[in-house]
Amino acid sequence: MIELGSLIRVCRQGDLPVYIQIVEQISTLIREGVLCPGVQIQPSRELARSLKLHRNTVVAAYEELEAQGWILVKPRKGCFVSPRMPGTVPAPLAQPGQAREAGYPVSTGYDIGYEMREELQVKYPSGAFKYVFNEGFPDVRLTPLNELLREYRVIGKRKFARDYLSYTAKEGSPRLRGEVVRMLRQTRGLNIGIEHVFISKGAQMGMYLAASLLLKPGDSVIVGDPGFFVVTQMFIRLGVNVCRVPVDGEGIDVDAVEAICRSTPVRLIYVIPHHHHPTTVTLSALRRLRLLELAKTYRIAIIEDDFDFDIHYESHPTLPMASRDANGSVIYVGTLTKILAPAIRLGFIVAPANLIALLGQHRYVVDLQGDNLLEEAAAELLRNGAVERHLNRIRNLYKERRDLLCAMLAERLPGIVSFTVPTGGMCLWVRFNGVDTAGVALEAQRRGLFIRDGKRHNPPGADLNAMCIGFASLGLEELREAATLLIDATLHTISANVQIVQLNRQIV
C-alpha cells in the first residue's frame, strides 16, 4: 500500500478547493508513473489523518478521482490505481518512418475570396415534453459552472479587469489562443503557433466565416451524404453548388470525391473525421491521406470539422488531417461548446496565418470581436486542468449511457432496429426496419417523448428511415425511461400498422 501523505501538499488559502488539489496531485503522480496501475493507495481516513483534513474532503477527492477514471474503489478491499490511464491518446495518422515538413504552412494552397450571408439556427422544444432525445448534446448539468464563475470573479478582482471590457484582438483572446495551441499540440499533434488560431463563438460561426471568405456563388463544394444538414444549408445559402457523395463505414467516399474533382472545379471539401453526423462513422486514416493528396493536386480547401475529437470511448482517435497538412489545404475546426455546454459559445479554427488574419478582418464587420471575459475565463480553465478533469469525467458517464441505450434497443427491438455502436460522440444512428420513423416519432411525442423522425438527414430522393438519437444529455434513469417510451412507441406503431393492414384485407 502506497502512503500518500508524504507526497501531497495542500494549501488551504489557495484558489483551488483542497479536494481538487488532492485530485490534481494524485493524478499527476499516476501520470508520471510514481503510482503504478493496480497499486493500492491508503484509505481516505488514513490520508485525512496524515494531511490533517476532514475525512469528507479526502472522500470527495477519491470520488472525483474515481469518476475521472484514475482509481478504482473495490468494496471491502480498498482503493487501487486504475489499470488504464484516462484521457485521449491519438493514434498516428502517418506510418512509421514517414516524415513531414517541420512547422505549419506559411500560406494557403488555394485562393481566397469572400461572400457573406445569414446564419442558420436550430431549436429544440422545452417544457412541453417529459423527455427530449436531441441529436447529440452534452449534459449541461455536468458543466463545471462553479469553476467558470470562479474565474469570472478572479478576473473581476484584478487591477486591470476593466481592460477585458474594452476592444481586443479580432482573432480572439491571445491567452485563450495560447492555451488552445498548447492543447492541440499535446492532443492532436499540431505543430502550430498562436498566429494559426482564431477563436469564434462556436464552431458553426467559425465555419461560416471561413466558407464565406473562400466561396462565391456558383462555386462547387463537396459534402458527405447523409451529412450535417446545418452546414449543408449554410453552403446552399451561400449560393454554391453542393455536390453530395456517399458516406459508408469508413467515412466519406474518397473515390466519389476524386471522380467529382476530375470533372468539376471544386473549391472546398467539408468532412467530419470523427463520429460523422449523423451516422457516427469515423473517417479512416487511409482516406484522410488520400483527401490531402486530392486537395494538393486540385488546389482545394478542406474544412475538417473535428467537433468531438475528445469524446472517445473505445479506441484511440486518429490524428487530424491538419497534423499532416504540409500544403496549407486544411482549415481545422474544433469547439469547447460540445465539451462544456451549448450556451458556452467557444469554437476555434486552425489555419495558415494569412487566412487567420483575413478571418479577423472578416469577423470585424460582423461581430467586431469575441466574448473577451468568457475567453479569458476559459483560458484559465484550460490552464489549471479543469477542462481535462471534466473531460475525464464525462467520457466515463457518457460511455455508460451509450451502453445502456444500445443494450435496451438491441434487447427490446431485435430485427426492428439496426445500428453500429459508436466508438465516441454523443449520439446513436439507428435504422428502423418495417416501421416508418415519422409514425414512431409522432407516437413518441404523444407519450411525452420528443424525438425527431430523422427525415431531414435524408439524401435527395431517398428515405434512410433512420433516427439520430442523442444519449449524452440524459442520466441513466432518465435515459432508461426515455428509451422505454421510444421502444413502446415503436411497438405500438408496428401493431397499429398490422391492424390497419388486416382491416383493409377484410374490407377487400
Number of CB atoms found within 10 A of residue 298's CB: 20
Could you tell me the pLDDT band of residue 416, with boundaries at 50, 70 and 90? very high
State pLDDT tens for residues 205-261.
999 999 999 999 999 999 999 999 889 989 998 999 999 999 999 999 999 999 999
Amino acid, single-letter form, for residue 454 = G
Mean pLDDT of the chain: 88
Could you tell me the pLDDT band of residue 151, with boundaries at 50, 70 and 90? confident
pTM tops 0.75, yes or no: yes
DSSP H or E stretch at residue 247: strand 241-248
Residue whose cell numbers read 496524515: 50
What's the pLDDT at 88?
A: 59
Cell numbers placing 399:
460511455
Measured over the CA atoms of residue 370, residue 373, residue 378 and residue 383, the dihedral's sign is: positive
State pLDDT tens for residues 417-427.
999 999 999 99
Rounded CA gap, 294 and 302, in Å? 10
Residue whose cell numbers read 476530375: 262
Number of CB atoms found within 10 A of residue 352's CB: 25
The neighbouring-strand residues paired with 305 are 333
Rounded CA gap, 70 and 476, in Å? 22
Do 405 and 411 form a contact (C-beta atoms < 8 A)? Answer: no
Residue 121 above 60 pLDDT? Answer: no
State pLDDT tens for residues 491-501.
999 988 766 65
State pLDDT tens for residues 467-479.
999 999 999 999 9
Residue 380 above 80 pLDDT? Answer: yes
State pLDDT tens for residues 391-400.
999 999 999 9
State pLDDT tens for residues 179-210.
999 999 989 989 999 999 999 999 999 999 99
Q: How many CA atoms lie within 13 A of 207 on its CB side?
A: 28
| 311: phi then psi, degrees, rounded to nearest 5 | -95, 85
Q: Which of 4-8, 26-30, 88-92, 96-100 has the lowest mean pLDDT?
A: 96-100
Do 284 and 250 form a contact (C-beta atoms < 8 A)? Answer: yes
State pLDDT tens for residues 296-320.
999 999 999 999 899 999 777 889 9
